[in-house]
Copies of this chain bind each other. A is one copy, B any other.
Amino acid sequence: MVEFRKSIPIGEAVSRIMAINIEGKSEYVSVNESYGRFLSEDLLATNDVPHFDRAPYDGYAVRSIDTVEANRDNPIEFEVVDHIGAGLVSNKNVGPFQAVRIMTGAQMPESCDCVVMLELAKDYIKDGKSYMSTKRKHRPGENVSRRGEDARTGEVLVEKGTKINPGIQAMLATFGYAKVHVAQKPKVGLFATGTELLSVDEPLQPGKIRNSNSYMISAQIERAGADVLYFGTLPDDFDTCFTAVKEALNKVDLLVTTGGVSVGDFDYLPAIYEKLNASVLFNKVSMRPGSVTTVAELDGKILFGLSGNPSACYVGFELFARPVIRKMLFSPKPHLRKEKAILDVDFPKANPFTRFVRSKLSVSDGKLIVTPSGLDKSNIVMSLAGANSLTVLPGGTRGFSAGDEVAVLMLEDHEGSEWPW
């Protein structure tokens, strides 16, 4: 009953998945709905920013040449001939020793080339006319934001594949992108298998546990940037599973199943892949947990047969399914971000295979520190809750001590890595 499986290295497994020709699609959404989505095209400047010379402060626009003689003992007087707020344009032709009172953001009058800040000007009325004076010499361009200073028309401002953050939202609005090209969210189908599974609202029964994997994976799918289509749990029955999987494949871009892939007698997924004529990329990986992960491809869709064990399922999703989702979101760095950190505690267990330990990554004095977030039993749901990272302990190592440098994969990060293996 123990079928033969050839275990392959993780990097090779990931590489086989990423070699599948699967592409993201683009859609066009309102800027009001674009926060948190991924750009499917480079974001270009549609105009110069600023698109006119503007005052960055409240003050008086003048001709700098008129301030040449100004100093502490020689205030220069200007007649205030106009007064404009942001959004307004003065139509006055400002001549020598004339000034326009100007508010932050307003367009500079044609003939003026500097701004005397409000705090440095003295204003007064004389013979019913407004005046101001300054005791400082101003350089041409002083206190003026020049047209195109921030960005030039046509410039690439943000690259495709970037997740839209509040700053990018501001840029989209600045450049008049009322609608934005973003990646369609991949549709990821999800099944949980196993007669041992109770639904969340059922009371516990002897021998049974509640289905938690599907809630966990749903959240992981969402965190990765895709939409979930949850098809429910499947009983441990071949024909029912087969039909359900086959039908589900018509509705999704990717299909995730949890459970049914180990060498247990009720684990049908490998047989289902065979009957579907799917090409199995691998059915065993040299890693812990998650070694029995099986991944297959059928007509450009990828089927991820993850372990039913919560930790193996969690890790398998992040290593194998997440990068495909991010690739479909046009990310140039689809994999979990990898960094180095200092191990905070001893980890004496030897690692015949590369091990992924659910961990809490923190910062102490500017340095990354990582602590395994629970006992390292692969069935312990509890340790998942505090995990924001996976510590990678390479295969063939004899254990680690506090203070050792290790690699970590960051779970809540959105920058990613190009290729962390």
Contacts and interface: CB of A to CB of B under 8 A. Distances in A.
Interface string A110-125: 0000000011000100
B85 A262 contact: no
Contacts of A32: 215, 218
A350 interface: no
A286 to B, nearest CB: 16
Given A195-B85, A382-B49, A173 B104 contact: no
Contact of A178 (B83, B195, B201, B212): B201
Given A174-B212, A213-B170, A145 B379 contact: yes
Contact of A85 (B165, B200, B265, B381): B265
A314 interface: yes
A88 interface: yes
A167 B368 contact: no
Contacts of A309: 104
Given A56-B377, A264-B104, A167 B216 contact: yes
B219 A165 contact: yes
- Place the interface of chain A in its size category: 35 or more
A296 B34 CA distance: 31
Q: Is the interface of A mostly helix, strand, loop or mixed?
A: loop
A216 B165 CA distance: 8
Interface string A31-75: 110011000000000010111100010100000000000000000
Nearest to A338: B363
Contact of A166 (B50, B341, B366, B384): B384
Nearest to A366: B340
B216 A201 contact: no
Contacts of A87: 194-197, 207-209
A346 interface: no
Interface of A: 1-2, 31-32, 35-36, 47, 49-52, 56, 58, 83-89, 103-107, 118-119, 123, 145, 149-151, 157-158, 164-178, 194-197, 200-204, 206-220, 222-223, 236, 262-266, 308-310, 314, 339-342, 358, 363, 365-368, 377-388, 405, 412, 414
Given A49-B381, A176-B203, 4 more contacts: A47-B204, A104-B264, A166-B219, A170-B215
